[in-house]
């Protein structure tokens, strides 16, 4: 079968983050996986990229194992099963829950937790063998490209918005970094609930696109007084969903309402310098972390997506042969929505 393979680079770690990911990836013919007794073999229709795929190429991910077939998102059709007990899956169109070995504690993942696509084989290949516990029927209202685009982003977003933040109709919500897959999924979920959703982004073009999608308001965070603008426009936020961290996190605490909640699902900028602890306790704010989710979360998210007929925002679609260029596009951070690779 064909697969997109990342092999151990011969360049130094200091140089690695500066190169285009496409230079590190090759399309190769490899053996098709054989499903174990608890697995099914899936012919992949389409896969999608996430920021973690680019971080792995840049050597910025922990415990990287080479060679790696990346890709955490995907959909396909079951063509073979490892045991007769799983034969009812043959011929079924399915999507993959990329959250593997969560553990027994629903509140947080355990020590054996993994995300599909390194160290396990990912979705950027013609076939993949998956545990039957991690496959779910594809929502019928989605195309192959749309189905491939939503699993990781919407699972992460659902846990952040619904489970951790418990956003309700009428809440005033701020989502930072609109344009990325998870941020847009948070936006769509919060809008479906009936919240008033504001956004930030570093691009005026993305700000315009968010407005067309129905954002109540927004600001470009490269503007020096973006936080004051957001405070004036919204009168403060009940919930803020953030993936960046960095120095602006203190500004988020400033524009959160007293008793408000900030959910953090990432730290693309990095640590928060001089964290304003005084503001945290004086305003009685709650800050909670969130990442990915359980199989139960995934099932609930699927029901939510189907009930509201949500369609993920797709930026662009590449063929498998051109998939390395999809990584360069993700690395440039100019996309608005998910970057999808058509495998079939």
Q: Which domains does the chain have, with CATH numbers?
A: 2-150+312-342 (3.90.180.10), 155-289 (3.40.50.720)
Among candidates 95, 175, 148, which has minimal Cα distance to 316? 148
List Cα–Cα distances, 51 to 25, 61, 314, 338, in angstroms. Answer: 16, 11, 15, 10
Tokens describing residue 260? 């408000």
Percent helix / strand / coil, the chain, rounded to 5: 35, 30, 40
The DSSP symbol for 164 reads I
Q: What is the pLDDT of residue 163?
A: 97
Cβ–Cβ < 8 Å for 194, 170: yes
Cβ–Cβ < 8 Å for 77, 42: yes
Cβ–Cβ < 8 Å for 130, 136: no
pLDDT digit string, tens, across residues 288-330: 999 999 999 999 999 999 999 999 999 999 999 999 999 999 9
Q: pLDDT band at 269, cuts 50/70/90?
A: confident
From start to end of the chain, where are the E strands? 2-6, 25-29, 39-48, 73-81, 93-96, 99-100, 114-115, 127-131, 135-137, 172-175, 196-201, 217-220, 237-242, 256-264, 286-289, 314-319, 338-342
pLDDT digit string, tens, across residues 135-154: 999 999 999 999 999 999 99
Q: pLDDT band at 12, cuts 50/70/90?
A: confident
List Cα–Cα distances, 192 to 177, 186, 306, in angstroms. Answer: 19, 10, 12
pLDDT digit string, tens, across residues 31-73: 999 999 999 999 999 999 999 999 999 888 888 999 999 999 9
Quick count: other Cβ atoms within 10 Å of Cβ 17?
Answer: 13
Q: What is the mean pLDDT of residues 229-238?
A: 95
Q: How many Å apart are CA 142 and CA 17, to the nearest integer?
A: 35
The angle at the Cα of 156, spanning 152 to 159, to the nearest 5 degrees, equals 140
Cβ–Cβ < 8 Å for 192, 310: yes
Helix (H) or strand (E) holding 145: helix 144-149
* SS3 category, 158: helix
* SS3 category, 165: coil
Q: What is the pLDDT of residue 344?
A: 79
Q: pLDDT band at 172, cuts 50/70/90?
A: very high
Cβ–Cβ < 8 Å for 217, 234: yes
Beta partners for residue 28, in sequence order: 3
């Amino acid at each position: 079968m064909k697969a997109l393979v990342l092999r151990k680079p011969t360049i130094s770690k200091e140089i690695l983050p500066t190169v285009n990911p496409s230079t590190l990836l090759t399309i190769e013919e490899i053996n098709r996986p054989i499903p174990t007794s608890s697995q099914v073999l899936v012919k992949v229709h389409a896969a999608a990229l996430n920021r973690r795929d680019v971080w792995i190429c840049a050597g910025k991910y922990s415990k990287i194992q080479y060679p790696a077939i990346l890709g955490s998102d995907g959909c396909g059709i079951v063509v073979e099963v490892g045991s007769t007990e799983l034969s009812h899956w043959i011929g079924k169109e399915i999507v993959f829950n990329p959250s593997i070995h969560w553990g027994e504690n629903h509140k947080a993942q355990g020590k054996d937790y993994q995300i599909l696509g390194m160290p396990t084989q990912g979705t950027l290949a013609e076939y993949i063998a998956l545990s039957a516990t991690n496959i779910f029927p594809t929502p019928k209202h989605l195309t192959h490209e749309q189905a491939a685009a939503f699993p990781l982003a919407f699972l992460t977003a659902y846990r952040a918005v619904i489970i951790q933040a418990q956003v309700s109709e009428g809440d005033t919500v701020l989502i930072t970094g609109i344009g990325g897959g998870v941020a847009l999924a948070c936006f769509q979920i919060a809008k479906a609930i009936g919240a008033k959703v504001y956004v930030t982004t570093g691009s005026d073009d993305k700000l315009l696109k968010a407005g067309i999608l129905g954002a109540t308001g927004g600001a470009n965070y490269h503007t020096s007084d973006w936080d004051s603008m957001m405070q004036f426009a919204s009168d403060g936020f009940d919930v803020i969903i953030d993936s960046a961290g960095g120095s602006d996190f203190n500004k988020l605490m400033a524009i959160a309402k007293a008793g408000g909640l900030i959910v953090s699902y990432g730290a693309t900028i990095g640590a928060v310098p001089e964290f304003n602890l005084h503001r945290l306790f004086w305003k009685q704010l709650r800050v909670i972390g969130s990442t990915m989710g359980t199989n139960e979360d995934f099932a609930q998210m699927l029901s939510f997506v189907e009930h509201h007929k949500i369609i993920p925002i797709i930026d662009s679609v590449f063929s498998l042969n051109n998939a390395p260029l999809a990584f360069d596009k993700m690395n440039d951070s100019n996309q608005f929505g998910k970057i999808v690779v058509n495998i079939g």
